[in-house]
């Protein structure tokens, strides 16, 4: 919060990437038809978030940055993906859910730290929206895999994600 402008720049980058991630599922798994409408919906919502963060940046006289260097959090998470078509598909969906839930947690913290106003309201809404996305990606996994398999893997990945978060330095960024 002491460097909120830098945080906002990173946040904008994360929203843009979240939109791209949702759409990359559509590009990579065109045969998984049951989840395509929700993926498109999610991609649009993330792009709207990007637009809203951009407006906040603009109102503060802060520019977007060049693509911020690879996010160490995301990089470490993606390295947890198993190989094999189905395993990879499941892991990508569950990691997407975990990323969304972590985002929701962080937006709640930002919301709590902000003074009353439009930006505070925005972060409150984002918290709810990202928590919803967290559920959606698990629901998508449940379209294709058993409840037992999904929740077992989700627990494993959550455990690993917790370790990754603890290993990262604290900086003015979402992760």
Chain residues in the site for Fe ion (CB under 5 A): 15, 46, 49, 100, 130, 133
| Distance in Å, CB of 63 to Fe ion, minimum | 20
Query: Which residue's CB is nearer to Fe ion, number 87 or number 124?
Result: 124
Q: Which residues of 64-73 are buried (b: 16+ CB within 10 A; e: fewer)?
A: beeeeeebeb
Tokens for 128?
A: 């709810």
- What's the rounded Cα separation, in Å, for the pair 48 and 52? 6
| Distance in Å, CB of 125 to Fe ion, minimum | 10
Query: Which residue's CB is nearer to Fe ion, number 87 or number 165?
Result: 165
Contacts for 116 with CB less than 8 Å, ≥ 6 apart: none
- What's the rounded Cα separation, in Å, for the pair 166 and 163? 5
Query: Which residue's CB is nearer to Fe ion, number 130 or number 161?
Result: 130
Query: Which residue's CB is nearer to Fe ion, number 92 or number 133?
Result: 133
Element (H, E) at 44: helix 36-59
| Distance in Å, CB of 96 to Fe ion, minimum | 9
| Distance in Å, CB of 53 to Fe ion, minimum | 9
Contact (CB, 8 A) for 153 and 95: no
């Amino acid at each position: 919060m002491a460097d909120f402008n830098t945080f906002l720049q990173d946040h904008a980058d994360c929203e843009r990437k979240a939109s791209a991630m949702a759409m990359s599922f559509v590009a990579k798994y065109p045969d998984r038809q049951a989840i395509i409408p929700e993926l498109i919906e999610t991609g649009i919502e993330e792009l709207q978030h990007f637009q809203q963060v951009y407006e906040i940046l603009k109102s503060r006289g802060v520019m977007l940055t060049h693509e911020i260097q690879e996010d160490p959090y995301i990089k470490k998470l993606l390295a947890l993906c198993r190989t094999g078509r189905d395993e990879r598909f499941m892991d990508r969906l569950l990691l997407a859910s975990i990323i969304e839930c972590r985002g929701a947690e962080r937006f709640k913290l930002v919301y709590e730290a902000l003074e009353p106003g439009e930006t505070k309201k925005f972060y409150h809404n984002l918290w709810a929206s990202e928590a919803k996305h967290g559920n959606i990606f698990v629901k998508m996994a449940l379209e294709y895999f058993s409840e037992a398999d999904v929740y077992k893997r989700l627990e494993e990945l959550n455990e690993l994600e917790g370790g990754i978060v603890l290993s990262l330095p604290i900086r003015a960024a979402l992760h």
